[in-house]
Structure 1
Amino acid sequence: MSDLLTTLRSALFNPLFFAFTALAVLFGLPLLPFPPAVMHRFLRGWANGVLWLLRVVCGIRLRVIGAENLPTTGPAIIAAQHQSAFDTVVWHALLPRPSYVMKEELMRIPGWGAMARHVHSIPVDREGGASSLKRLVRAARDAAARGYQIVIFPEGTRSAPGQVQPWQPGFAAMAAATALPVVPVATDSGRLWGRRAFTKRPGTLTVAVLPPIPPGLPRAELTARAENAVAEASALLEQGNGRATS
C-alpha cells in the first residue's frame, strides 16, 4: 500500500512541478528588464515553492546541516555533490545570489535560458577543451566581481548516493582564478529523488554544508581536500541512512 501511495504522490508531483516551473518562466520573463536582484528574489520564491510541493505532495523534507558555513553576503564557490534534479533547485533557496555553472545546452531552453543568463549563470561546454575552460574562468571572474556565490558540481555528472566521482579540473581552475573560499557540500538527495527517477520517496533528505576552505592552496591540494571532505560526509550520510532503515 505504501508503494502505491508513493507512486500516486509522485504522479501528482511531477505535472505540478513542470506546470509550476512553466508558470515561473511565464511570469519571470517580464522581469528581464529589471536588475538581476529582482530575478534572484523571484527564483528564490520558485525554489521555495518547489520545496513546499515536495513536502506537501511527496512527504520529502529538507534538512540542512552546517548552515552557518553558507555565505550570506559576498562571493564564494559552492562545490556541491550532485545526485538529483533537486540539487539544481535548492541553491536558489539557500543562497542570496547563486550563479550556477551549468551545461551549455540548458542555457538554450526557451525562456529559462534567458532567465539563467540574466542572473549570470555560467555555461560550460564539457567537450570544448581548453577554450571552454578559458571561457569558464572568465565567466567565473566576472561572477565573483559581481558578488555572486558560484555553484558548481565538480563531478560533472550525477552520482549515486554514498559515491563520489573524480572531480573535473574546471573546479580547481575556477577556484585559482577567482581566489574565492570554497565551500564543499555533500548530499543524499538521490536517495529520495533518484537520477531520472519517476518516484519521489518520502523522508528527509540532507544537505551537509562543510567548513569553507580558504583560498591560496595549490590546485591539487585544494581538489584533494574538498573531494575528501565531501566523500567523508557523503559516507557518513549513507551510514546514517542505513542505520535509520535497518
Structure 2
Amino acid sequence: MSYAIQWLRSLLFNAQMYVAMLVVGILYLPAAVWSREGAIAGCHAYCRWVRWTAGWMIGLKVEIRGTPPTDEVMVAPKHQSFLDVLMIYGAMPRGKFIFKAILKYAPVIGQFGLRIGCIPVDRGKRGQAIKQMLADVQAGRALPGQLIIYPQGTRIAPGVKAPYKIGTGALYRELGQPVVPVATNVGVFWPKRGVYRHQGTAVFEFLPRIAPGLEIADFMRRLETAVETASDKLAAEARFPLRGL
C-alpha cells in the first residue's frame, strides 16, 4: 500500500512540476524578454519551486555540499536525472548549459535556455559539433557565467559506467578556465525513467577545482576519477548497492 501511495504522490508531483514550468514561463516572460537577468530570475524561481515541492510532496530533500562557484568557470557534473539540472543550476548565480540542439525547440526550456546563454549542440555530428561548440562558446563569452557541460553527455544511472566525452576536454583547453566537478546520488531517488520517486536526501557535491593547464588526457582522467569516485560514495551513503564499496 505504501508503494502505491508514493507512486501516486510521485505522479502528482511530476504533473504539477510541468504545469509549474508553464506558469513560471508565462509569468517571467516579460522580464525574460526585457533582459537576461529576468530570464535567470525565472529559472531560479522554478528551481526553488521544484526543490520545495519535492520536499513535501514526495519526501525528497536536497542537500548541497561544497562551494558552488560564482566566478567564470566550467562546471562538469554527473548527470542522473532532470533534478540535477535544476539543483545545480539553482545553486549558482549565472549558469549556462551546453545542451542538445533539439531542446531549443522545447516550450519554455528552449526559449529561456537560449535567453540565459545556453549553447545548443548537435551531438550527432561529432567532430563538426565540437568545432561548432567551441566557436559558439567563444562567441558567448560576452555573457558572463558558469558554463555547465555534462561530460558523459546524457543521464547515467548510479553504478553504470559510461565514457567521458572528449568535448569537455576540448573546452577545458580552449577556455583555459578552472573546472569544478560535481558529484551526485540523485539517480538513486529519481530514476532515469518511470514515474516513481523515492524518499530520501539527494546530495549534490561541488568538488575541488581542477586548475587549467593540464594536458587533455590528464585532465579527463582527473575529472572522471573525481566525479565517479565521489558519486559512488554518495550512492553508497544512500545505501545503493555498488560493487567494491
TM-score normalised over the length of structure 2: 0.93
Distance (whole Å) between structure 2 residues aligned to residue 116 and residue 208 of structure 1: 24
Give the CA deviation at 1:173: 0.6
Q: Per the alignment, do residues 53 and 235 of structure 1 end up closer, same or farther by CA in structure 2, a change over 3 Å counting?
A: same
Given that 1:144 and 1:178 are in contact with CA atoms closer than 8 Å, whether structure 2 keeps it comes out as: no
Q: What RMSD, in angstroms, separates the aligned Cα atoms of the two structures?
A: 1.6
Equivalent residue number for residue 85 of structure 1: 82
Give the secondary structure class of the aligned counterpart of 1:37.
Answer: helix
Equivalent residue number for residue 41 of structure 1: 41
Distance (whole Å) between structure 2 residues aligned to residue 243 and residue 191 of structure 1: 7
Percent identity over paired residues = 30
Give the CA deviation at 1:64: 1.4
Instruction: Report whether the alignment pairs 1:162 with 2:163.
Output: no
Structure 2 gaps, min length 5: none
Structure 1 gaps, min length 5: none
Q: What CA deviation, in whole Å up to 9, does each residue of 1:153-208 have, x standing for no partner?
A: 11011111133421111111111111111011111111111012201111101111
- The counterpart of 1:128, out of the listed 122, 125, 128, is 125
Given that 1:83 and 1:195 are in contact with CA atoms closer than 8 Å, whether structure 2 keeps it comes out as: yes
Equivalent residue number for residue 12 of structure 1: 12
Q: Per the alignment, do residues 137 and 243 of structure 1 end up closer, same or farther by CA in structure 2, a change over 3 Å counting?
A: closer
- The counterpart of 1:202, out of the listed 199, 204, 213, is 199
Give the secondary structure class of the aligned counterpart of 1:33.
Answer: helix
Equivalent residue number for residue 214 of structure 2: 217
Q: Per the alignment, do residues 33 and 241 of structure 1 end up closer, same or farther by CA in structure 2, a change over 3 Å counting?
A: closer
Given that 1:6 and 1:58 are in contact with CA atoms closer than 8 Å, whether structure 2 keeps it comes out as: yes
Give the secondary structure class of the aligned counterpart of 1:62.
Answer: strand
Give the secondary structure class of the aligned counterpart of 1:127.
Answer: helix
Given that 1:143 and 1:150 are in contact with CA atoms closer than 8 Å, whether structure 2 keeps it comes out as: no
Give the secondary structure class of the aligned counterpart of 2:97.
Answer: strand
Give the CA deviation at 1:91: 2.5
- The counterpart of 1:193, out of the listed 190, 193, 200, is 190
- The counterpart of 2:115, out of the listed 115, 118, 121, is 118
Given that 2:63 and 2:202 are in contact with CA atoms closer than 8 Å, whether structure 1 keeps it comes out as: yes
TM-score normalised over the length of structure 1: 0.93
